[in-house]
Structure 1
Amino acid sequence: MKQYLKQDEWRIIEEGFDPDHHKASESIFSLGNGQMGQRANFEEAWSGPTLQGSYIAGVYYPDKTRVGWWKNGYPEYFAKVLNSPNWIGINVTVDGEMLDLFKAQKVDNFERILDMKNGVLSRRFSVILNNGKRLTVKTDRFLSMERPETGVVKYTMTPNEDCKIIFTPYINGDVENEDANYDEKFWNILETNAVLNKADLLCQTKKLDFRVSYAMETELVGAEASEEQPFSDELHSGNHIPVLASKGKEISLTKYVGVANSMNHEKDELLSVARKKASEAKTLGYDTLLKEQIAHWNEIWEHSDIKIKGDIAAQQGIRFNIFHLNQTYTGEDERLNVGPKGFTGEKYGGSTYWDTEAYCIPFFLMTSPQKVVRNLLIYRYKHLRKAIENAEKLGFTNGAALYPMVTMNGEECHNEWEITFEEIHRNGAIAFAIHNYIRHTGDEKYLEEYGLEVLIGIARFWSQRATFSHDKKKFVILGVTGPNEYENNVNNNWYTNKIAQWCLNYAREASEIVKKNNPGRFSEITKKVNMDPPTEMGVWKSVAGNIHLPYNEEEEVFLQQDGFMDKEQIMADELSPSVRPLNQHWSWDRILRSCFIKQADTLQGMYLFEEEFDTETIRRNFKFYEPRTVHESSLSPCVHNILAARIGDLDKAYEMYLRTSRLDIDDYNREVHEGLHITSMAGTWMSIVEGFGGKRVYKDGKLRLYPIIPEQWKEYSFRIRFRRHDLEVRVDQEQVEIISHAKDEATLTLYDKEISIPAGKSVTIPLNIKYHVKK
Structure 2
Amino acid sequence: MTTLHTGPSDDTTTGRTDAFTLSYSEFDPGEEGLRETLTSTGNGYLCTRGAAEWEDADGVHYPGTYVHGLYNRATTMLGGVPVHNEDLVNLPNWLPLKLRIGGAEVLRLAEVEILEYSHRVDLRSALMTRQIRFRDREGRETELVSRRFASMASMHHAYMEWTITPLNWSGQAEVVSALDGRVTNDGVPRYRQLESDHLRPGSTVFPHPEVMALKVRTRQSEVNIGVAARTLVSTGGRKRDVPRSDFRMADYIQQTLHVELERDVPTTIEKSVALFTSRDPATGDTLLRASRSAARSRPFGAAYAHHRESWERLWQACDLHVFGDDEAQHLLRVHISHILQTCSHNTADLDAGVPARGINGEAYRGHVFWDELFVFPFLTFRLPAVTRSLLMYRYRRQSEARVAAATAGYEGFMFPWQSGSLGTEQTQELHLNPMSGRWDIDLSHNQRHVSAAIFYNVWQYITLTEDTMFLEFRGAEMMLGIARFWSSIAHYSPERQRYEIHGVMGPDEYHEKYPGASEGGLRNNAYTNVFVAWICDIAAHLLDLLPAPQAGAVRARLELRDDEIERWKDMSRRMFVPFHDGIISQFEGYEDLDELDWNSYRAEYGNIQRLDRILKAEGDTPDRYKLAKQADAVMLFFLFSDDELRRVFTRLGYGFADDAAQRTIDYYDQRTSHGSTLSYITHAGVLARFDPDSSWDRFKVALGSDVNDIQGGTTREGIHMGVMSGTVDLIQRFYAGMRVENGMLQIHPNLPRDIDGVSFNMTYLRSPLTVTVMQDSVTVHHRDGVIDSTPVHVCVAGQERMVAVGGEETFSLT
Q: TM-score if structure 2 supplies the norm length?
A: 0.88
- The corresponding residue for 1:271 is 287
- The corresponding residue for 2:479 is 455
Give the drift of 1:221: 1.5
| CA shift digits 1:386-434 (9 cap, x unpaired) | 100111222224x454445323222222224755541000110111112
- The corresponding residue for 1:349 is 365
Given candidates 500, 519, 526, the residue that maps to 2:532 is 500
- The corresponding residue for 2:519 is none
Given candidates 188, 191, 202, the residue that maps to 2:200 is 188
Residues 58/462 of structure 1: CA separation in 2 closer, same or farther (3 Å cut)? same
- The corresponding residue for 2:53 is 43
Q: Is the counterpart of residue 723 in structure 1 residue 765 in structure 2?
A: yes
SS of residue in 1 equivalent to 2:280:
coil
Alignment root-mean-square deviation, CA: 2.3
SS of residue in 2 equivalent to 1:646:
coil
1:184 and 1:493 map into 2 onto residues whose CA distance is 37
Given candidates 793, 803, 813, the residue that maps to 1:757 is 803
Which has the bigger relative contact order, CA under 8 A and spacing at least 6? 1
| CA shift digits 1:165-192 (9 cap, x unpaired) | 1100110011011146644521122111
Counterpart amino acid of 1:745? Answer: P
- The corresponding residue for 1:213 is 226
| CA shift digits 1:39-83 (9 cap, x unpaired) | 11111135552233111222110123767797xxx9x84220101
Give the drift of 1:150: 0.5
Instruction: Indicate if the aligned counterparts of 2:29 and 2:60 stay in contact, CA closer than 8 A.
Output: yes
1:68 and 1:639 map into 2 onto residues whose CA distance is 40
Instruction: Indicate if the aligned counterparts of 1:442 and 1:701 stay in contact, CA closer than 8 A.
Output: no
Instruction: Indicate if the aligned counterparts of 1:104 and 1:127 stay in contact, CA closer than 8 A.
Output: no
Instruction: Indicate if the aligned counterparts of 1:579 and 1:585 stay in contact, CA closer than 8 A.
Output: no
SS of residue in 2 equivalent to 1:87:
coil
Instruction: Indicate if the aligned counterparts of 1:353 and 1:407 stay in contact, CA closer than 8 A.
Output: no
Q: Is the counterpart of residue 709 in structure 1 residue 751 in structure 2?
A: yes
- The corresponding residue for 2:401 is 387
SS of residue in 2 equivalent to 1:477:
strand
Residues 101/571 of structure 1: CA separation in 2 closer, same or farther (3 Å cut)? farther
- The corresponding residue for 1:168 is 176
Residues 69/559 of structure 1: CA separation in 2 closer, same or farther (3 Å cut)? farther
2:260 and 2:570 map into 1 onto residues whose CA distance is 83
- The corresponding residue for 1:246 is 262
Residues 573/688 of structure 1: CA separation in 2 closer, same or farther (3 Å cut)? farther
- The corresponding residue for 1:772 is none
Q: Aligned pairs, how many?
A: 749
Residues 542/607 of structure 1: CA separation in 2 closer, same or farther (3 Å cut)? same
Residues 24/615 of structure 1: CA separation in 2 closer, same or farther (3 Å cut)? farther
1:171 and 1:227 map into 2 onto residues whose CA distance is 19
| CA shift digits 1:356-413 (9 cap, x unpaired) | 1x11221111111x3322222222221111100111222224x454445323222222
SS of residue in 2 equivalent to 1:455:
helix
Counterpart amino acid of 2:673? Answer: V
Given candidates 79, 83, 89, the residue that maps to 2:86 is 79
Residues 421/17 of structure 1: CA separation in 2 closer, same or farther (3 Å cut)? closer
1:163 and 1:581 map into 2 onto residues whose CA distance is 56
Residues 396/725 of structure 1: CA separation in 2 closer, same or farther (3 Å cut)? same
1:264 and 1:476 map into 2 onto residues whose CA distance is 45
Residues 404/565 of structure 1: CA separation in 2 closer, same or farther (3 Å cut)? closer
Residues 193/605 of structure 1: CA separation in 2 closer, same or farther (3 Å cut)? same
- The corresponding residue for 1:565 is 591
1:727 and 1:481 map into 2 onto residues whose CA distance is 40
1:443 and 1:189 map into 2 onto residues whose CA distance is 45
Instruction: Indicate if the aligned counterparts of 2:371 and 2:721 stay in contact, CA closer than 8 A.
Output: no
Instruction: Indicate if the aligned counterparts of 1:387 and 1:404 stay in contact, CA closer than 8 A.
Output: no
Residues 581/620 of structure 1: CA separation in 2 closer, same or farther (3 Å cut)? closer
1:67 and 1:734 map into 2 onto residues whose CA distance is 62
2:555 and 2:20 map into 1 onto residues whose CA distance is 52
Query: Percent identity over the alignment?
Result: 23
Range with bigger deviation, 86-95 or 47-56: 47-56
Residues 33/540 of structure 1: CA separation in 2 closer, same or farther (3 Å cut)? same
SS of residue in 2 equivalent to 1:141:
strand
- The corresponding residue for 2:68 is 57
Instruction: Indicate if the aligned counterparts of 2:164 and 2:268 stay in contact, CA closer than 8 A.
Output: yes
Counterpart amino acid of 1:391? Answer: A
| CA shift digits 1:632-655 (9 cap, x unpaired) | 2132222222211122x1222111
Give the drift of 1:324: 0.9
Counterpart amino acid of 2:609? Answer: P
Give the drift of 1:350: 4.2
Instruction: Indicate if the aligned counterparts of 1:501 and 1:545 stay in contact, CA closer than 8 A.
Output: yes
| CA shift digits 1:570-616 (9 cap, x unpaired) | 58677346243325860334433333322221111122222224752
- Taking the TM superposition and a 5 Å limit, the aligned residue runs for 1:109-258 are 109-160=116-167, 161-178=169-186, 179=191, 182-194=194-206, 196-222=209-235, 226-258=242-274
Counterpart amino acid of 1:586? Answer: I
- For structure 1, the residue ranges without an aligned partner over 5 or more in a row are 769-775
Counterpart amino acid of 1:38? Answer: T
Give the drift of 1:351: 4.1
1:11 and 1:66 map into 2 onto residues whose CA distance is 46
Residues 50/315 of structure 1: CA separation in 2 closer, same or farther (3 Å cut)? same
SS of residue in 2 equivalent to 1:237:
strand
Give the drift of 1:303: 0.9
Give the drift of 1:338: 1.7
SS of residue in 1 equivalent to 2:710:
coil
- The corresponding residue for 1:678 is 721
- The corresponding residue for 2:12 is none
SS of residue in 2 equivalent to 1:478:
strand
- The corresponding residue for 2:13 is none
- For structure 2, the residue ranges without an aligned partner over 5 or more in a row are 7-18, 430-440, 514-521, 647-656
- The corresponding residue for 2:624 is 593
- Taking the TM superposition and a 5 Å limit, the aligned residue runs for 1:307-706 are 307-330=321-344, 331-356=347-372, 358-368=373-383, 370-397=384-411, 399-416=412-429, 418-419=442-443, 421-489=445-513, 490-514=522-546, 517-518=547-548, 520-533=549-562, 535-552=563-580, 554=581, 556-570=582-596, 575-576=602-603, 578-583=606-611, 586-588=614-616, 589-610=620-641, 611-613=644-646, 616-647=659-690, 649-670=691-712, 671-698=714-741, 700-706=742-748
Q: Is the counterpart of residue 259 in structure 1 residue 299 in structure 2?
A: no
Instruction: Indicate if the aligned counterparts of 1:474 and 1:548 stay in contact, CA closer than 8 A.
Output: yes
Instruction: Indicate if the aligned counterparts of 1:225 and 1:242 stay in contact, CA closer than 8 A.
Output: no
Instruction: Indicate if the aligned counterparts of 2:228 and 2:287 stay in contact, CA closer than 8 A.
Output: yes
Instruction: Indicate if the aligned counterparts of 1:64 and 1:181 stay in contact, CA closer than 8 A.
Output: no
SS of residue in 2 equivalent to 1:586:
helix
2:632 and 2:398 map into 1 onto residues whose CA distance is 26
Counterpart amino acid of 2:320? Answer: I
1:444 and 1:674 map into 2 onto residues whose CA distance is 39
Q: Is the counterpart of residue 22 in structure 1 residue 7 in structure 2?
A: no
Residues 492/115 of structure 1: CA separation in 2 closer, same or farther (3 Å cut)? same
Q: Is the counterpart of residue 737 in structure 1 residue 779 in structure 2?
A: yes
Counterpart amino acid of 2:224? Answer: R
Give the drift of 1:683: 0.6
2:478 and 2:639 map into 1 onto residues whose CA distance is 20
SS of residue in 2 equivalent to 1:103:
helix
Give the drift of 1:340: 1.3
1:740 and 1:724 map into 2 onto residues whose CA distance is 11
Instruction: Indicate if the aligned counterparts of 2:759 and 2:773 stay in contact, CA closer than 8 A.
Output: yes
1:571 and 1:311 map into 2 onto residues whose CA distance is 37
Give the drift of 1:337: 1.9
Residues 563/68 of structure 1: CA separation in 2 closer, same or farther (3 Å cut)? farther
Instruction: Indicate if the aligned counterparts of 1:17 and 1:108 stay in contact, CA closer than 8 A.
Output: no
- The corresponding residue for 2:793 is 747
Instruction: Indicate if the aligned counterparts of 1:475 and 1:543 stay in contact, CA closer than 8 A.
Output: yes
Give the drift of 1:147: 0.3
